[in-house]
Structure 1
Amino acid sequence: MSEQVISKDLWEAIPKENKDAEIISRPSMTYWQDAWRRLKKNKLSMVGLLFIVFMVLTAIVGPYVISHDYSTQELTLANIPPSMEIYQVDEDTYFYMHSEYKLFDVTKDGVLVEKIKEIENDMTNRRRVYNIDGNEVVLDYSYAVKKAEDNPEGIKFKLLLNGEEIKPFDKVHNKTYVFGTDALGRDMLARVIYGARISLLIALVATLVNFFIGVLYGGISGYFGGQVDNVMMRIVDIINVIPLLLYVILLSVIIGSGLKSIIIALGSVYWVGMARIVRGQVLSLKEQEYVLSARTIGASSMRIMIRHLIPNAMGPIIVSMAMLIPSAIFTEAFLSFIGLGVSAPLASWGTLANDALGGLRSYPYQLFVPSIAISLTMLAFNFLGDGLRDALDPRLRK
């Protein structure tokens, strides 16, 4: 039998687009790997995530690193600002004059040493005299009460060194108290770090409550539906109608105000929003084919809900938790601000803001520091929540 010869003319070159059709353009990824890849492309979300990690590490390690305690009072060093204008006496001697007309011995770099005791205090003429390393320093603050026509330049005080007026030598940062001190001489940095611990605890409580109560409650309501869903959602409506502030006030009357009453109040009512979200997700997912297949092979309702429905709804659940955490942190700060939160000497960002109101005009930094901490934390969680929403949405996969 003769062999059949196939002519070369019968062959045709494959087009380049068909040749490259089978090439894998990127490695195969799971759903969560792809979500992490997309999240890393969102710069604001990564900034928020890094700030949250930084805050967690600071709250855990910070109290062991800084040299001051959050509750230790140094009344002689009260209301010291983060930056100071220092005056020079000689080459090695400097002092800082407080807005309350008190003098403090400081170094050239801004390290507080001690309060300088006056040798003469003439309150009638508003004049104080100090002896600093053999030099006479006179503080004349009588200008502050003079009339405008007698003090056209608006001078508040004059400092005289050995009879000659001196001006500020330099403005330095406070190396002893980086964020300054409060009205009782407590370190603001230590108290802000401790306030971060309170906020992280509230965030942890909100996360656990939303996950274990809200997810399970909403999952059961959405899966069984019918009369069960109707009754469970009416309970949610009743709980949702009563304001959180009323819960906290009632708990404060029963068990006293403090962090414990806030945690119980959040644990009682903060899961209702998550329950609604999970219920909606489960209502749409329970009609899918894989749920019918699980029922066919005899899987129990609890197994279907825990192993199939809730894992497939984890995207919206995680996004919702990331969005609800800053709301819980702000709620705690607000309750502490109005006096229903943690009690002294415990420090919370809300209590720090409340304590700063009395001296807002004279010491605005005492309000700015906790306010900035609250704002940055809420922005960080919101940025992360926005990034998670985009990263976990399968419709945006590329």
Structure 2
Amino acid sequence: MIRAANRLARNRGALAALVVLVAMILACLVGPRFTGHEPGRIYPDLVRTAPSLAAHPEPGEIAPALTRLAFRMRVTVSDIAVSGDRVRLVLSDMAKPIDERVLVYLPRSDLFGPATVLDRQDGGRRLVVEAPLGRLRFLLGTDMLGRDLLTRSLVAGRVSLLIGAVATAVALLIGIAYGALAGYLGGVADAVMMRFVDMLYALPFVFFVIMLLVFFRSGLGLILVAIGAVEWLDMARLVRAQTLSLRARDFVRAAEALGLSTPAILRRHVVPNTLGPVTVAATLLVPKVILLESFLSFLGLGVQEPATSWGALIAEGARALESAPWMLAGPASFLVLTLIALNVLGDGLGDALDPRLAER
């Protein structure tokens, strides 16, 4: 293992992929706390806002936003003047004096702060008002409802990475146990067990998921069950092949001669010697599971609102590709970067654990 770790440390590509993967995990875990936005917070005045480093509201957004708010307040807005981080405007109502309580609409819009009345004219039918401007930044823009896309992409990454990790763990547990037992028993037991695997291979995955949806409600739990119930098949075949080669080794025969039980032999001698190929396969299985979850969410069979995942965000972005291409570009970039990092890391682990390279 020390030699393998040294070979992995010399692989710059694998180390870079590991750094990217760790950074992605940390960003998804703690990043939403520092974006300045709640993942479900809706900004009605900033729907489908393009990515930008500039703070909102921008000069061209102030007058339309104030006009919409004035309509809700049932007044007329005029003489809008921006000075630094504050805006001054005049509210008018020719029929009756303006109730100052309507000024609460300004801070509710998130673009403006609490308003201050500077002057009352015409018996209260005309108010000169000043309010601070909000300072909202959307580095990846907003979606169709006005939610910050960066925050939602990071929160969605938690779900996608969780599904990848949990489904892979389930596949490892079932696949290792099933494959090691089948390979060690051999004979008729091995043939029967592997024919069962072949039967599951013949079942179309999407049909299997749709069949589950008939009996269960779609959601995160269903995705974990569906993916975990299928992805262990490849792992079982891999472990079985390794076990068939280990079964004839001297240390396994010695354990049998000492009277160790089958579970003890599998636990102490067979399974530990399959961990090299299994580790490599696991790193390559995680991106496969994430991509599979994204595919299901894209079809609408995966994670449902209010939860979200990279696949669900990509599906939303695909529907708004012409009018808001950043809705697809942002989540897709997170997904592609994670998949590339996992695949490069898996290749690096495969080279590091390759016994043919042990003497190099």
TM-score range, shorter chain: 0.7 to 0.9
Give the structure 2 partner of residue 115 of structure 1. 65
Give the Å deviation of 1:131.
2.7
Note closer, same or farther for the CA distance 1:290–1:375 as it changes in structure 2 (3 Å cut). Answer: same
Note closer, same or farther for the CA distance 1:186–1:291 as it changes in structure 2 (3 Å cut). Answer: same
Give the structure 2 partner of residue 62 of structure 1. 31
Give the structure 1 partner of residue 237 of structure 2. 276
- Quote the Cα distance in structure 1 between the aligned partners of 2:320 and 2:160: 24
- Secondary structure at the aligned position of 1:313 is classed as helix
- Quote the Cα distance in structure 2 between the aligned partners of 1:130 and 1:338: 50
Code of the residue aligned with 1:95 in structure 2: it is: E
- Quote the Cα distance in structure 1 between the aligned partners of 2:302 and 2:169: 20
Give the structure 2 partner of residue 248 of structure 1. 209
1:241-267: CA deviations, max 9, x gaps? 112211211111211222221111012
In 2, are the aligned partners of 1:71 and 1:346 still within 8 Å (CA)? no
Give the Å deviation of 1:85.
7.9
- Quote the Cα distance in structure 2 between the aligned partners of 1:243 and 1:326: 20
**Count of aligned residue pairs for this structure pair:** 306
Equivalent in 58, 70, 74 of residue 95 of structure 1: 58
Moved more, 274-283 or 34-43: 34-43
* Structure possessing the higher relative contact order (Cα contacts under 8 Å, 6 or more residues apart): 2
- 1:289 matched to 2:250? The reply is yes
- Quote the Cα distance in structure 1 between the aligned partners of 2:70 and 2:40: 33
- Secondary structure at the aligned position of 2:58 is classed as strand
1:146-171: CA deviations, max 9, x gaps? xxxxxxxxxxxxxxxxxxxxxxxxxx
In 2, are the aligned partners of 1:85 and 1:96 still within 8 Å (CA)? no
- Quote the Cα distance in structure 2 between the aligned partners of 1:196 and 1:48: 17
1:207-262: CA deviations, max 9, x gaps? 21122100000000000000010010011011111122112111112112222211
- Quote the Cα distance in structure 1 between the aligned partners of 2:69 and 2:276: 70
Structure number with higher helix proportion: 2
- Quote the Cα distance in structure 2 between the aligned partners of 1:176 and 1:84: 6
Code of the residue aligned with 2:32 in structure 1: it is: P
Note closer, same or farther for the CA distance 1:243–1:293 as it changes in structure 2 (3 Å cut). Answer: same
Give the Å deviation of 1:362.
2.4
- Quote the Cα distance in structure 1 between the aligned partners of 2:53 and 2:148: 16
- Secondary structure at the aligned position of 1:73 is classed as coil
In 2, are the aligned partners of 1:194 and 1:348 still within 8 Å (CA)? yes
Note closer, same or farther for the CA distance 1:216–1:86 as it changes in structure 2 (3 Å cut). Answer: closer
Equivalent in 147, 163, 167 of residue 206 of structure 1: 167
Note closer, same or farther for the CA distance 1:132–1:320 as it changes in structure 2 (3 Å cut). Answer: same
In 1, are the aligned partners of 2:293 and 2:302 still within 8 Å (CA)? yes
1:105-161: CA deviations, max 9, x gaps? 8xxxxxxxx93437999xxxxxxx98334999xxxxxxxxxxxxxxxxxxxxxxxxx
Give the Å deviation of 1:33.
1.2
Code of the residue aligned with 1:241 in structure 2: it is: A
Give the structure 2 partner of residue 224 of structure 1. 185
- 1:233 matched to 2:202? The reply is no
Note closer, same or farther for the CA distance 1:104–1:221 as it changes in structure 2 (3 Å cut). Answer: farther
Q: Aligned Cα RMSD in Å? A: 2.7
Equivalent in 80, 86, 89 of residue 131 of structure 1: 80
Give the structure 2 partner of residue 333 of structure 1. 294
- Quote the Cα distance in structure 2 between the aligned partners of 1:133 and 1:249: 56
In 2, are the aligned partners of 1:71 and 1:186 still within 8 Å (CA)? yes
Give the structure 1 partner of residue 48 of structure 2. 79
Equivalent in 361, 366, 371 of residue 327 of structure 2: 366
1:62-117: CA deviations, max 9, x gaps? 23333211112112111111127899xxxxxx8344xxxxx248xxxxxxxx9343
**1:163-178 matches, cutoff 5 A:** 176-178=137-139
Code of the residue aligned with 2:10 in structure 1: it is: K
Note closer, same or farther for the CA distance 1:130–1:187 as it changes in structure 2 (3 Å cut). Answer: farther
Note closer, same or farther for the CA distance 1:34–1:74 as it changes in structure 2 (3 Å cut). Answer: same
- 1:45 matched to 2:17? The reply is no
1:316-373: CA deviations, max 9, x gaps? 0001111111010000011101111111121211111111223212211110011111
Please give the TM-score of this superposition, normalised by the length of structure 1: 0.72
Note closer, same or farther for the CA distance 1:241–1:96 as it changes in structure 2 (3 Å cut). Answer: farther
Moved more, 245-254 or 371-380: 245-254
Give the structure 1 partner of residue 119 of structure 2. none
In 1, are the aligned partners of 2:55 and 2:136 still within 8 Å (CA)? no
- Quote the Cα distance in structure 2 between the aligned partners of 1:296 and 1:119: 85
1:28-84: CA deviations, max 9, x gaps? xxxx11111111111111111112211222222223333211112112111111127
Give the Å deviation of 1:379.
0.4
Equivalent in 291, 305, 308 of residue 347 of structure 1: 308
